[in-house]
C-alpha cells in the first residue's frame, strides 16, 4: 500500500513540476514549438514541389526548399499587406458600426415594446471587453514579438536535420535501438508534416471560399474576415464556430435588413460544415487517430496554459504525444485514451 502511495505521489509531483515548467517556460517553449511547426510545414511544402512532374526530370531538393520558403514568405507578406491596408478603414468604420448597433437596439425596443433595454455601453461593461481584448492582444503580441526567435530556431533546425539520424545512432546503446529511435522520429515528422500541410491547404480553401461569399454579399473588409477565418481554422472545433459567428454578427450592424445576416450565417455555416465533415476527413482520413473529446480537452488545457498560441498548437502537440506514447508499453494506455476508438492502427 505504501509503495502504491509513493508511486502516486511521484506521478503527481512529476505532473505538478511539468505544469510549472510549461507555464513559466512558455516564453521559451512557444517559439520552439512554432519553429518545429514552421520547419515541418516547409519540409511538407518542399515535398510537394519535389512531386511536381517535369517529364524525365525531378525537382532537386534545394530548389524545392527554395520554392517552399518563397511560398511561405509570400503568404506572410500577403497577410501583412491585408492587415496594413485595411487598418485605417477599420478604425474609421468603428464609430459607424457603433451608431448602427445603437439604432438596431432602439428598433428592437420599439418593435417588442420593451420599456428599457441595456445600452451597448452596459453590454460592454458586463462582458468586460477590456480584459478580453487585453488577453487577446497580449497573446497575439507575444506571438509577433517572438517571430524573430522562431525564424532563428527554424534555421538551426534545418541546419541540424541532416545530422539528426547520426546523433540518434550515437545516443542508442545498440543498432536495434538506434533504428527504433530513427523510425520514431520519422513517424513523428511524417505525421506532423501531413497534418500541417493538409490543415494549411484546407484553411486556404476555406478562406478563399469564405472571401467569395462575403464579397458577394458585400460585407465590409471581406479580405480581413477571410484571413481571420483562415487562421481560426487551425483551432479545432471552436475556430470554425467563431469563423461563422464573427462575420455574421458584423452584418447585423452593417446592413438594415436581416437578409445579409442570414445569407452569411447559412453560407459560411454550410461551408464550414462541408469542409469539416466531408472534405477534411476525406483528405486527412483517420491518419491522426485522435479522439474529438481529447482534442477539445487539449484545446482547453493549452489555451489556459499558453493562451491563443496554445490553441493553435494543441493538435500538433497531441499528435507528437500520441505517437510517442504508442511506442512505449508503459505509456501505451495514454495513446489508447487519445485515440478515436482505442485502436492504435493507423
Say how far apart CA 204 and CA 210 lie, in whole Å: 10
Q: Which three cell numbers stand for residue 257?
A: 435588413
Looking at the chain, how many residues does it have? 346
Please choose, from the candidates 302, 325, 322, the residue with its C-alpha nearest in 3D space to the C-alpha of residue 195. 322
What is the rounded average pLDDT for all residues in the chain? Answer: 76
User: Has residue 320 got a pLDDT over 90?
Assistant: no
End-to-end CA, the chain:
39
Top pLDDT among 278 and 96 is at: 278
Q: Which three cell numbers stand for residue 329?
A: 508499453
pTM of the predicted structure, to 2 decimals: 0.73
**In this prediction, what percent of the chain has a pLDDT beyond 70?**
75
Sequence spans of domains, the chain = 26-49+60-338
Please choose, from the candidates 330, 343, 304, 300, the residue with its C-alpha nearest in 3D space to the C-alpha of residue 318. 300
DSSP state at residue 304: H
Top pLDDT among 341 and 296 is at: 296
* pLDDT tens digit sequence for 232-254: 888 877 888 888 888 888 887 77
* CB proximity list for 200: less than 8 A, separation 6 or greater: 41
Q: How far is CA 281 from CA 20, 159, 188, 202, 268, in A?
A: 36, 34, 20, 11, 19
Residue 130: pLDDT band with limits 50, 70, 90:
very low
Amino acid at each position: 500500500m505504501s509503495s502504491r502511495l509513493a508511486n502516486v505521489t511521484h506521478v503527481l509531483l512529476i505532473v505538478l513540476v511539468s505544469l510549472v515548467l510549461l507555464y513559466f517556460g512558455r516564453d521559451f517553449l512557444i517559439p520552439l514549438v512554432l519553429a518545429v511547426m514552421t520547419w515541418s510545414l516547409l519540409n511538407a511544402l518542399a515535398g510537394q514541389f519535389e512531386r511536381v512532374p517535369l517529364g524525365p526530370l525531378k525537382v532537386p531538393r534545394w530548389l524545392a526548399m527554395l520554392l517552399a520558403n518563397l511560398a511561405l514568405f509570400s503568404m506572410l507578406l500577403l497577410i501583412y499587406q491585408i492587415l496594413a491596408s485595411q487598418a485605417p478603414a477599420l478604425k474609421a468604420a468603428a464609430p459607424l458600426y457603433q451608431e448602427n448597433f445603437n439604432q438596431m437596439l432602439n428598433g428592437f425596443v420599439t418593435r417588442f415594446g420593451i420599456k428599457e433595454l441595456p445600452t451597448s455601453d452596459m453590454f460592454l461593461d458586463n462582458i468586460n471587453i477590456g480584459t478580453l481584448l487585453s488577453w487577446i492582444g497580449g497573446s497575439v503580441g507575444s506571438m509577433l514579438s517572438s517571430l524573430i526567435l522562431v525564424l532563428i530556431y527554424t534555421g538551426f533546425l534545418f541546419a541540424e536535420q541532416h545530422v539528426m539520424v547520426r546523433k540518434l545512432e550515437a545516443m542508442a546503446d545498440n543498432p536495434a535501438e538506434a533504428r527504433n529511435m530513427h523510425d520514431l522520429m520519422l513517424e513523428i515528422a511524417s505525421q506532423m508534416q501531413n497534418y500541417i500541410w493538409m490543415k494549411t491547404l484546407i484553411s486556404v480553401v476555406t478562406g478563399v471560399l469564405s472571401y467569395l461569399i462575403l464579397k458577394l454579399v458585400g460585407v465590409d473588409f471581406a479580405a480581413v474576415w477571410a484571413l481571420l477565418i483562415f487562421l481560426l481554422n487551425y483551432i479545432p472545433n471552436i475556430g470554425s464556430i467563431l469563423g461563422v459567428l464573427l462575420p455574421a454578427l458584423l452584418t447585423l450592424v452593417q446592413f438594415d435588413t436581416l437578409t445579409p445576416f442570414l445569407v452569411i450565417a447559412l453560407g459560411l455555416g454550410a461551408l464550414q460544415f462541408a469542409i469539416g465533415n466531408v472534405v477534411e476527413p476525406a483528405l486527412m482520413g483517420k491518419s491522426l487517430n485522435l479522439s474529438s473529446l481529447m482534442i477539445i480537452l487539449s484545446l482547453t488545457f493549452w489555451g489556459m496554459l499558453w493562451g491563443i498560441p496554445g490553441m493553435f498548437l494543441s493538435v500538433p502537440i497531441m499528435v507528437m504525444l500520441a505517437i510517442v506514447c504508442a511506442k512505449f508499453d508503459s505509456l501505451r494506455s495514454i495513446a489508447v485514451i487519445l485515440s478515436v476508438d482505442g485502436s492504435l492502427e493507423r
